[in-house]
Structure 1
Amino acid sequence: MSLHPGSTGRHPLLDRVLASDGSLPFALLRRHGGTEVEVLTGDVVDADLLRDIPLDGAPVLAVVPYRQARERGFTVRDDGAPLRCLVVREAERVPLSDALAVLPPEPVAAEPLGFDTPDDGYAGIVRRVIDDEIGQGAGANFVVMRSFEAHTGAAPVPTLTSWFRALLTHEVGSYWTFAVHAPGPGAAVSLAGATPERHLTLRDGVARMNPISGTYRHPASGPTREGVLDFLRDTKENEELFMVVDEEMKMMSALCPDGGRIVGPYLKQMARLSHTEYLLEGRTTLDPRDALRLTMFAPTVTGSPMENACTVIARHETRPRGYYSGFLALFEPEGADGATGPAGYSLDAPILIRTAYLHDGGRVSVPAGATLVRHSVPEHEVAETRAKAAGVLASLGLVPRGTAPDAVVDLNAQDGVAEALAVRNAQLAEFWVRPQDTAPAATSETSPLTGQDVLVIDHEDQFTTMLAHQLDHLGMNARVVRWDTVDDVLTDDLVVLGPGPGDPRDQDDPRIAAITRRIHERVTAGRPLLAVCLSHQVLAGLAGFPLRPLPAPRQGVRLAADVFGTTAAVGYYNTFGARLTTVDAADADNPVARLALEPSADDDGVLTALRGPGVASVQGHLESVLSSDGIGVLEALARHALGATVR
């Protein structure tokens, strides 16, 4: 095979890639701002499920599509995008300067066609999601995608390698910069990108996730100290980040026996945008493929709660996602001394955002999405999708690059930035920030909580994994079971009915009907019960308190509210609330009403909690990272439900 123009012959594998006619599968990777480009080639294998990714001793790079969410039973518009694996047979490391010298110097010509959903159409979607989803209790935040489209007549290899060089040259702050070409059965999988976000890494038994949310759009003249400080003080941007941290801590609690801890926050500065981020870490022994399945997909590109976010995405997006919001997953053998799990592989998995895709026939797509929350302004979210796509589009020459500022301001070095970041941690629960290698006093042998068996029922919100972890930390033995697989609610010492999306008044919703039935079962049998958020609302309704939509959703809000005489700072995720009122005399046919539950309410007359013989409930999420007083309130309510003396 002849060498390509500019080849020096020093890097034969890269030379082969650049001279290929498109039949050679390859990946070019620059990871974590490194000084080398990794060149990989090998055999292409398609897998049906993540568990089928072939880990037989060789490194494997998997391109995981969004449709794999079906493995978790979530709703997806299935476009058939393959889970394509490159089983690495040859690898080469090339100094970055050498790679830049031989890669195509300019991106191939392409004709820009614009967004598939126009600005006014996307703004309309934003309004509908706020009104019809967040405003009706479907969840706290949702990410909706649209895609910039273009066309090129160039062949795959020059297209992808030229995109790769352009992204290396023009983007900064990327977690991975990459180009992947994987021909196989059906259409080739061909993409190049510069993603800022790690989804999950596993190395030496340590799992790390890296939620990034909140976006400062740099002005054309360049970012400024004043601009970034305004961004860091913005309520909407702060709440957006805390919501995704909560959602990823749910995943960490499923992955890690210690539940994980929060490190940060940090400011990630890129060429046209800056983001805020946290690092989450904990220890796990899971096979990396199982860990990936449990964490599909990042809330920063889907929303929360995760299962319902997928349903909302399917309702509102105009086309299937393909690989957008999926991830690349590089599995590398660690050897016997450093095995992270049964497979003996480490994992490095970045999220597929800020990525361009080359489809059959020369179609080019660059998808981007905005996180929609209760404070969202449709026009601002339109601008955010444009800004997120712009870094890739400008690098590829699909929109004007503009004139770079004479000097780029290092935002992290500006006065006040470190302090503004640190202020955020004042709102976080110490429980999730400090190492959790020691348990509180409640786990002593004299505690009435020690050894109690707890069934935590999940109503399609994995906050239950965090609840279970906190209950375990209090000395109890908690297990989480999905609502539609529970067959016995009377055996366990305590049943915790968990939160979930939806309208608590809707008895046609099978989850609401199940909550109602299980409350009656436990109360009639005189068995201890604790209800949280949605389940608290259902309990309150059965007790005779009216349920109504709140004037404004409290999704991802931290409030200091009264809980039976104690002011507690707690995170709230609710669109509906039970209202304080005088309850009529007990209905002889209603076992909950006969309890004459004692209410606790905030200044607006919204119930914060209920308690009675063997029963307690709470509106807030005591397990949330926003609940700095959460673990203490949880202990007190669990003690009450079990009939123990509250300290």
Structure 2
Amino acid sequence: MTGTAAPTPASADLIARLAADPAASFALIVREGGESVEVLSGPVTDVDLLADIPLSDGRRRPSEVLALVPYRQVRERGFAAHDDGAPLRCLTVEEHAAIPLAEALDALPTTPIPLADAGFDLDDAEYAAIVRNVIAEEIGRGEGANFVIRRDFVAGVDAEPRTAALTWFRALLEHERGAYWTFAIVTPGHVAVGASPEAHVSARDGVVTMNPISGTFRHPAGGATVETLTEFLSSTKETEELFMVVDEELKMMSAVCSDGGRITGPHLKEMSRLTHTEYVLRGRSRLDPRDILRETMFAPTVTGSPMQNACAVIRRHEQSPRGYYSGVAALFTPNAEGGHDLDAPILIRTAYLEQGRLRVPVGATLVRHSDPYGEVSETHGKAAGVLGAIGAIPRAITMVPDDDEPAPAPRLGDDPAIAELLASRNARLAPFWMQEQEPGARTAPFAGRKAIVVDAEDRFTTMLAHQLRHLGLDVDIVHWSAADDARLDAAELVVSGPGPGDPRDGESARIARMREVVVHRLAQHRPLLAVCLSHQILSDRIGVGLAPLSSPHQGLQLSVDLFGETASIGFYNTFTARVTPGVTVLTPSETRCGAVGDVEIAADPATGDVYALRGAGFASVQGHLESILSRDGMRTLERLVGHALS
């Protein structure tokens, strides 16, 4: 366990002192696998920006700080959010003690806290209607692959807030399992108590770790079994949901880690009422931990992808601000090198108490084949983990047995059949992202050549740039709004990137600029690679028609023929370029811009959906070669870049 905690025998006295002092701000934390309760106390300050988190005192001595980062902080990245004024709250730790878990349980209160007028703020039918709207209006229009929309369980609480916090914290320790952090954080006017299953990001000894968790198995009555879990793990929806969030978090890892990140797993995260599937991502970084936190705001498992559009979708469809839900509790701890380690769980499965009102926000990940009432059920299951522990609904399992209680059931993840089923998922994935990503680990066929990747607001560009660097290219990423012609002309290769939206949209400044990038490059006869949205724009420019797919290909893996080679590629598209089935070449007389010469087409032989194009000095691809779903992504990327540069 990290931190500067020192054991103390005065467990009851310490907890009683903090509970009795109305001016004291404190946090109680039990980390995964921990056998003690960390007690952090000190003064609280609210700051505006992550860069303002006070990691040193007036004499520049390093400070330990616990920061509550609200969801609205995504505005630092230029993303949309309802602004509820929730503060970026920093507890500067002046005392950090450790209390043995058994002693802490004895010292914590046990009297139940009654709730009044309890229920969801949106009823099941209202929430199901929102799910339908998001699938039809957002995923169906190409705005993204998945989105997380929340609802809140609310109730009145007539109890002293500190007593409620300590009571609920004790209950979570006794009745929940598998949490990454179990915690109670008490600051002026605000209480947060939770058992978060998910570490968002940590940084320790130069190693950054992220832990995407997705796919939710709600335990049936009587508990989970190997048979019921096997059925869940065989679900295409749940598997693809996890792959999509891994892709999204690899985008973040590629932005903050020099080696791009490596994935390991999958594993099970088993809790009292739910089981999730998870991967672990690791890479190396020298960034300030506050910068790491900024670049990874916030987890796609609680927002969606692509991130920027997910935030806009959340603002359109959620009826109230999120507060701290889907933000993080970030603990910055001084290390021996003079910097700070970071440990930041996501603020989910958390109860908030403010002005006598309890709020437990929960959300479901909506994808192209979501069932509205299945997602309703998922929100009930997620809320039940917290509500059952604090006694608001009947409890599922007592997790701290005494002499008269049976031991907890064995973990299903230890069953050989389950372990084999989990491991089999990796056969579908790109080996590139499952191997060490050290520079120079492979031959670089394009060493010394310069490329610019134009970002159309999908950070798949960070993964794409990382792969291009492994091919030897010197790569810069440029936002579409800054991609002026002079800057692009300085690059030998321009990669016009992916992004959300309808490529036919005549009102979007972003899509208009991406169209100009493609047209300018074609007119100059300079090397161009166009990906996904830009592939569609290129197709339209050449004269290939565009159409919406009958069912969006968001997070779909297909085996396709790309110019004589079969490749397993991941797709995230709602629109497609389409030719008459069987057409493999367009001659200059058949294109809108004959100056490009003959254009080769790789398309589905039955539907005519275009997977790739190539011509003199350019190539394009509909799929995401950088995705973990593109098992043959690196080989295909090298082929297409080589063609464009030739």
CA deviation after TM superposition for structure 1 residue 105, in Å? 1.4
- Counterparts of 1:593 and 1:371, CA distance in 2: 46
Question: What is the letter of the counterpart of residue 398 of structure 1?
Answer: A
Letter in 1 for 2:318: E
Amino acid at match of 2:476: R
Map of 1:145 onto structure 2: 150
Q: Which amino acid aligns with 2:551?
A: A
Moved over 4 A (4+): 7-11, 402-407, 582-590
User: C-alpha separation between the residues in 2 aligned to 1:54 and 1:234?
Assistant: 46
- Residue 511 of structure 1, CA deviation: 1.7
1:170 corresponds in structure 2 to 175
Deviation at 1:220, TM superposition (A): 1.9
Q: Give yes or no for contact 1:288–1:346 (8 Å, CA) kept in 2.
A: yes
1:309 alignment partner in structure 2:
310
Distance 1:18 1:280, change over 3 A: same
Matches within 5 A, 1:89-488: 89-183=94-188, 188-336=189-337, 344-360=339-355, 362-401=356-395, 408-437=409-438, 439=440, 442-443=443-444, 447=445, 449-487=446-484, 488=487
User: Match for residue 68 of structure 2?
Assistant: 63
| Cα distance change, pair 409–380 in 1 and its aligned pair in 2 (3 A) | farther
Deviation at 1:595, TM superposition (A): 3.2
Give the residue type in structure 1 aligned to 2:352: Y
Which SS does the other structure have where 1:80 is aligned?
coil
Unaligned runs of 5+ in 2: 1-7, 57-61, 399-404
Equivalent position of 1:629 in the other structure: 632
d(CA) in 1 for partners of 2:256, 2:308: 17
Q: Determine the C-alpha separation between the residues in 2 that align with 1:465 and 1:531.
A: 15
| 2: CA distance, partners of 1:477 / 1:609 | 24
Q: Deviations over 1:621-644 (max 9, x none)?
A: 00001111000100010010001x
> C-alpha offsets along residues 180-235 of structure 1, whole Å, 9 cap, x if unaligned?
0111xxxx231100000000000000000000000110012100110111111110
Q: Which residue of 2 aligns with 1:502?
A: 501
CA distance in 1, matches of 2:597, 2:150: 48
Find the aligned partners of 1:380 and 1:615 in 2 and give their Cα distance. Answer: 45
Tell whether the 8 Å contact from 2:558 to 2:569 is kept in structure 1 after alignment: yes
Q: 1:530 and 1:65 mapped to 2: Cα distance? A: 39
Change over 3 Å in CA distance of 1:84–1:525 after alignment to 2: same
Contact 1:588–1:594, Cα closer than 8 Å, also in 2: no
Find the residue that maps to 2:195 and give its secondary structure: strand
Q: From the superposition, tell whether residues 172 and 592 of structure 1 become closer, same or farther in structure 2 (CA, over 3 Å).
A: farther
Answer whether contact 1:11 1:94 (CA < 8 A) is retained. no
Q: CA deviation at 1:437?
A: 2.1
Structure 1 stretches lacking a partner, 5+ long: 1-6
Is it true that 1:80 corresponds to 2:85 in the alignment? yes
Letter in 1 for 2:320: R
Once the two structures are TM-superposed, the CA of residue 53 in structure 1 deviates from its matched residue by 0.2
CA contact (8 A) 1:251 1:294 kept: yes
Q: List per-residue Cα deviations over 1:469-514 (Å, max 9, x = no partner).
A: 0000000001111111212321100000000000011122112211
Q: Name the SS for the 2:297 alignment partner.
A: coil
Aligned equivalent of 1:596, options 595, 598, 609: 598
Is the Cα contact below 8 Å between 1:587 and 1:594 reproduced in 2?
Answer: no
> In angstroms, what is the RMSD of aligned CA positions?
1.8
Is 1:618 aligned to 2:613, yes or no?
Answer: no
Letter in 2 for 1:430: P
Letter in 2 for 1:345: H
Determine helix, strand or coil for the equivalent of 1:505.
coil
**2: distance between equivalents of 1:584 and 1:299?**
40
Q: Is this contact kept in 2: 1:75–1:310, CA < 8 A?
A: yes
CA distance in 2, matches of 1:548, 1:10: 66
Q: Which residue number corresponds to residue 563 of structure 1?
A: 562
**What's 2:608 paired with?**
605
Name the CA shift for 1:73/1:438 in 2 (closer, same or farther; >3 Å).
closer
SS state of the match for residue 489, structure 1?
helix
Task: Give 2:531's aligned residue.
Answer: 532
**Aligned mates of 2:458, 2:594 — CA distance in 1:** 25
The equivalent of 2:27 in structure 1 is: 27
Q: Aligned partner of 1:482: which letter?
A: H
Matched residues, number: 621
| Contact 1:520 1:591 (8 Å CA) reproduced | no
Give the residue type in structure 1 aligned to 2:545: P
Instruction: Please state how far the C-alpha of 1:23 moved relative to its aligned partner.
Output: 1.9
Aligned partner of 1:46: which letter?
A: D
One-letter code aligned to 1:476: L
Counterpart amino acid of residue 609 in structure 1 = A
Contact 2:182 2:196 in 1 (8 A): yes
Q: Which amino acid aligns with 1:400?
A: P
**Secondary structure, counterpart of 1:367 in structure 2:** strand
**Which has the larger displacement, 158-167 or 583-592?**
583-592
Confirm or deny: 8 A CA contact 2:498 2:532 kept in the other structure.
Answer: yes
Contact map agreement 2:194 2:350 (CA 8 A) in 1: yes
TM-aligned CA distance change 1:250 to 1:10, over 3 Å:
closer
Give the partner amino acid of 1:276. T
- Deviations 1:295-347 (Å, cap 9, x if unpaired)? 000000000000000000000011100000000000000022xx5xxxx0000
**Cα separation, partners in 2 of 1:440 and 1:564, compared to 1, 3 Å:** farther
Equivalent residue number for residue 576 of structure 1: 575
SS of 2:237's equivalent in the other structure is helix
AA aligned to 2:490 is: T
Aligned to 1:47: 47
Cα distance change of structure 1 residues 88 and 440 upon mapping to structure 2, 3 Å threshold:
closer
| Residue identity opposite 2:241 in structure 1 | E
**Offset at residue 594 of structure 1 (A):** 4.2
Q: Give the distance between the partners of 2:506 and 2:11, measured in 1 at CA.
A: 70
